[in-house]
Amino acid sequence: MGDAAGLANESFEAYRRDVFAWAYRLLGNDHDADDVVQDVYLRWDQQCQVALPVHARGWLRRVTLNRAVDVHRRPGANSARLDSADHCDVRCDARRTSTTNLRQDLALDHAALRSDLATAMNELTDMQRSVLIAKVFDGLTFAGIATEHGLAVSTVKTHWLRAVRTLAAQLRDRWADEIRNPGGMSNLRPSSSRNVKMSHQRCV
Amino acid sequence: MKCEEFEMMIAESLGSELAESDRPALEAHLAECPRCREELRAAEGLLLTMRSIPGPTGQEVFGGRPESIGSSDPRFQESSAWILRKSVPLLRYAAIILAAFGAGYFVRSTNVSMERDGVDHAATVDSIARKARPDPDGNEMRTFEAALSGAYRRNPGGSDLAKCMRALFPTSG
């Protein structure tokens, strides 16, 4: 039993940074990401009592993304983000001259994008989420993803296409500006989230 | 060709893995199919926007330290402190209950062992008391052994610790 726990801990160490990074991509703060890391570790430990997952990294990515989406759905997590958006007014006075405030606005844009993405990912299956994140954020090839998950390459491509289509349908309205003008984030256009947009409109 | 036949090529194109040999065919299809063209353009915009979302900095990903969970990482230390704070009252109650059970067990086991071993403790105590050296005033309770035997005779059911305490710090009662 002790050996199994030691093995679980040791093997988890190899992936801990990845787990944190996957959670952080959707949640955007290290506190929530840490919560996810600990939850995933507990799941991993339980799983290792039975058997080590054959495709460990793929297993961990799926579990992490599921947990991150769950954490994002928590009422507290959402209200914290909205609070940060509502505080825009307080920062408005100095924002036009301060680089710091420009950075804060950009961070607010990113927070809104993360929130939209995490919400839209509710509509994806476990595997679609995992394939999407592996491709977009981890930069893996289809063959690499197939190996990590123990799937055929064609299956991975199908998951990928369905995930992209579903997200595009979900985010068509919310990300209309970004999709029409990809890469334009640095111009500090109003953010995607409706709440944040309203805050910015009050500011300008 | 139907649009469905280009799905895999569109998937590969979105994943930047479209083979050069397939590119002309896909481009020809996109030139004549506004639906696929629009879908590809929107999906590319979506993926570009997704890629603009920053990941954690190196410092945020635990600063590259190799320690295990629950070790010196400040985040886990913070979590451990939180768990400790939450569990202190529980531990306190557990300790009180454990101490009460322990004391009860100790008293009971002393009495039981005295009953079980068949030794006549009363006779032993009397012999110790007889051997005790009286002081010049004729007071028997001058030595520790004599005091202990007196305490035992007064309260044979008490624990050894209680007897020692009574012998060392006799009260008027």
Which of these, A17, A9, A1, A2, lies nearest to A44 by C-alpha position?
Answer: A9
Q: Which residues of A touch B15 (CB under 8 A)?
A: 135, 141-142, 157, 160
Output the pLDDT for position B78. Answer: 52
Q: Is A72 helix (H, G, I), strand (E, B) or coil?
A: helix
pLDDT surpassing 90 at residue A67:
yes
pLDDT per position as a tens digit, A186-200: 333 444 443 444 333
Output the pLDDT for position B132. Answer: 56
- Is residue B16 packed enough to be buried (19+ CB in 10 Å), middle (13-18) or exposed (0-12)? exposed
Q: Residues 67 to 86 of B: which have CB under 8 A from any A CB?
A: 68-69, 75, 79
Structure tokens at B89: 């009252």
Structure tokens at A48: 């290792």
Nearest to B53 among A16, A25, A161 (CB): A25
Contact A25 B42 (CB under 8 A): no
Contact A175 B45 (CB under 8 A): yes
Contact A13 B79 (CB under 8 A): no
Q: Which amino acid is it at A85?
A: A
pLDDT per position as a tens digit, B82-140: 666 667 778 888 888 889 888 887 777 666 555 555 556 666 666 666 655 555 565 65
For the segment A20-45, the average pLDDT, to the nearest whole number, is 90
Ramachandran class of A183: left when φ > 0, alpha when ψ lies in -120 to 50, beta otherwise? left
Q: Which residues of A touch B55 (CB under 8 A)?
A: 21, 24-25, 137
Distances (CA, A) of A68 to A1, A7, A129, A155: 29, 25, 11, 24
Residue with tokens 């507990």: A42
pLDDT per position as a tens digit, A145-170: 999 999 999 999 999 999 999 999 88
Please determine, for the modelled complex, whether the ipTM score is greater than 0.85.
no
What would the 3-class secondary structure string for chain B be? CCHHHHHHHHHHHHCCCCCCCCHHHHHHHHHHCHHHHHHHHHHHHHHHHHHCCCCCCCCCCHHHCCCCCCCCCHHHHHHHHHHHHHHHHHHHHHHHHHHHHHHHHHHHHHHHHHHHCCCCHHHHHHHHHHHCCCCCCCCCCCCHHHHHHHHHHHCCCCCHHHHHHHHHCCCCC
Write down the pTM of the prediction.
0.58
Q: Which residues of A touch B58 (CB under 8 A)?
A: none
pLDDT surpassing 50 at residue A94:
no
Residues in chain B: 173
Which of these, A120, A114, A121, lies nearest to A61 by C-alpha position?
Answer: A121
DSSP structural state of residue A199:
H
The answer to whether B43 contacts chain A (CB < 8 Å) is yes
For the segment A111-118, the average pLDDT, to the nearest whole number, is 87
